[in-house]
Amino acid sequence: MDKGQFEVTDPDSQFLDEVLLSDQAFSTDPSRVLIEASDLHRLRYRLVEWLAESPNPKVKSDRKKKLAETLQMSIRQVERLLNQYFEDKLQEEGGVQRADKGTHRVEEYWQDYIPEVYEKSLKDKHPLKPADIVREVQRHAVVDLGKEEGDYPHPATIYRILKPLVERQKRKKKIRNPGSGSWLVVETRNGQFIRANFSNQIIQCDHTKLDIRIVGTDGKTLQWRPWLTTVVDTFSGCLVGYHLWHKQPGAYEVGLALRHASLPKDYPKEYKLEKEWNIYGPPLQYFFTDGGKDLSASKHVKAIGKKLGFQCELRDRPNQGAIVERLFGTINTQVLAALLGYQPSRAGKEQIEKAEKEACLTIDDLDKILAGYFCDDYNHQTYPDDKRFTRYERWFIGMGSKLPEPLDERELDICLMKQAQVTVQEHGTVTFKTYSYRCEELRPWRGKYVNLHYDPDHVLTMLVYSLDEEFIGHAHAINMDMQDLSLDELEQLNKEKNKAKRSHSNYDALLALDKRKKLVEERKQDKKQQQRSEQKKLREKGKKNSKVVELRKARKTKSSNAASLPELLPERIDYSQDKPAQAMQTSQVNKTSAIPEASEKRDIDEGKRHRLIIPKDKKLKKIW
């Protein structure tokens, strides 16, 4: 019995009858037992992944509380796990990955020097053993650098740095390239060797930018070149599926290529295919790609693998993907080189101008050319390593001489592009890219959220799913039943509509602004006229009650009375005549000792008042 299922009332008691069962012993919920019996790291990863797929904040909050209750941790710890999941630090097998994983706590100089010594020995064709490199490092540190013991890496650290290099060299000796010998063998990044024993066991995927310039619907040469994503079977070399796109592919474009590879091909008559493309099926075990995040490291591709039952693996070296890389060279040399608009990857200025001038194919034309080449030519060429069979015959034999059972399209809807959290409106309608779609099954879902899955080549029909990814029905664009548009064409129509709307609205806005401006000017002029008229009325009213005339007459009489005794201005006196006049005046004053009469005194004062007294040290010119 579990220790948590009983409790002791008295720790010092020695009697067993005093041991009582706790409430946990009577629990009927088996979830705790299932959690303890399962793999904790994998369970935690699945729960955090379930939390990350929450469609809205309310559901996310509820799931966060449930997850904290299930794992018996705090909400903050759950949020930390969620951040680690989004940063790709949370591993399904080993929990949280350390931030310093793969690094060594030694100086960068030694991290560069140790591999350099080993690579140099390989280049000289005299590979050194790890023990020899340890001694070489010690010699270099002591003799060349003058370091003491402890200032250079420990032998154990040197062995750890050399271990991946030595293992990679051993793997190179075991296998020269993919397909060597009688078995097709590929090597993963973690050092695992995988043999392709039958068809669709190992599917390889990669993409490239094609060496051709194309035109748009208006006939003008586009500035970008199309991208091609291919899905190739390792056992037979057959091209199982592909996807042609106008921009650099991501995880969803890879999913579309996988969907095309997994379903039987049914092309319309306008493609004019002479043979049936009976090569299809999902990866049965491995999805083998390079190290790009848009391929195997993507959560979307991993989710597809979990649902379809295959495992994502990374190739160790570029030459491990020689089968799919060689196909890109074949397409450029055998198909695109003969077309107008061909532009080599290392084209000069003249070749680029020539390709832009000669380009005449659209992306639909290029899709027809590639489909005809893959279906009628490439897949039916002889297999390079066995001239007795074609690629298709080898694939058919590898499948047990029978075609695989086709998958239901609903199982592959996960490969389509996704538009999440769309609100259902009246009459079961939803909106996507300004267009309305109607689904009869959505009538009871009014006001709820649903998910839309769609094929970018046919966006007028949507696949409607619930938030729990349960299929509800098909939604079709309203009043567009007889048309078929791709995502690019739909976005182009929206751009043209918005452009026309903006130009029309801008013209109306300018007209309205002009009207407002004119109205403001009119009101301003009216206000000025009103102010002038009011001021004019006030002036006229003031003139009637004004006494300005009487005041002017009174001022005139006062000025005339004051003019009867005018004040004379002094005459100009010559400076040379000033001294004798002044001496004469002083002599007369000294001789006359008696007080003059009043008339004489008035004359003397009046003379003094009109006389200018000039100091001796000043000139008349300056003060006048």
User: Which whole number is the average pLDDT over 413-433?
Assistant: 84
Q: Which domain does 34 fall in, by range?
A: 3-96
Are 256 and 390 part of one and the same domain? yes
Give the CATH number for residue 285. Answer: 3.30.420.10
Cβ neighbours for 533, distance < 8 A, ≥ 6 positions apart: none
Do 369 and 460 have their domain in common?
Answer: no
Q: What one-character DSSP code corresponds to residue 18?
A: G
d(CA 246, CA 224): 7
End-to-end CA distance of the chain: 132
Report how many domains make up the chain: 4
Amino acid 374: pLDDT: 92
Number of neighbours of residue 622 by Cβ within 10 angstroms: 7
Structure tokens at 441: 């099954």
The strand order across the sheet containing 227-233 reads 239-245, 227-233, 202-209, 286-289, 311-314
Are 267 and 192 contained in the same domain? yes
Q: How many CB atoms lie within 10 A of CB 82?
A: 19
Q: Does any domain span residue 588?
A: no
Enter the DSSP assignment of 604: H
- Do 86 and 146 fall within a single domain? no
Same-domain status, 334 and 376: yes
What three-state secondary structure class fits 416?
coil
pLDDT in tens, 336-368: 988 888 988 777 888 888 888 888 998 889 999
**Same domain assignment for residues 148 and 246:** no
Residue 239: pLDDT above 90? yes
User: Are residues 258 and 366 both part of a single domain?
Assistant: yes
**pLDDT level of residue 414 (50, 70, 90 thresholds):** confident
- Please give the full DSSP string across 505-529, using - where no structure is assigned: HHHHHHHHHHHHHHHHHHHHHHHHH
Torsion, Cα 526 529 534 538, to 10 degrees, reads: 170
233 domain residue, yes or no: yes
Residue 98 binned pLDDT confidence (cut-offs 50, 70, 90): low
As beta bridge partners, residue 471 has 465
Q: What pLDDT is recorded for position 182?
A: 44
Question: Which amino acid is present at 296?
Answer: S
Strand ranges inside 350-503, DSSP E: 382-383, 386-390, 417-423, 429-432, 435-438, 449-455, 458-465, 471-477
463-474 per-residue burial string, b: 16 or more CB within 10 A, e: under 16: bbbebeeeebee
Confidence of residue 505 (pLDDT cuts 50, 70, 90): low
pLDDT of residue 230: 92
Q: 474 to each of 26, 416, 462, 535, how far by Cα in Å?
A: 49, 14, 6, 78
**Angstrom distance (rounded) from CA 427 to CA 450:** 15
Asked if residue 131 belongs to a domain, the reply is yes
On whether both 377 and 270 belong to a single domain, the answer is yes
Does 562 map to a domain? no
Q: Same structural domain for residues 378 and 484? A: no
Is residue 254 one of the residues assigned to a domain?
yes
Q: Is residue 508 part of a domain?
A: no
Sole residue written with tokens 């929450």: 54
Judge if 384 and 465 occupy the same domain: no
For residue 282, count CB atoms less than 10 angstroms from its CB and return exposed for 0-12, middle for 13-18, buried for 19 or more.
Answer: buried
State whether 224 and 114 are in the same domain: no
Q: Indicate whether 168 belongs to any domain.
A: yes
Residue 343 lies in a domain: yes
CATH number for position 437 = 2.30.30.130
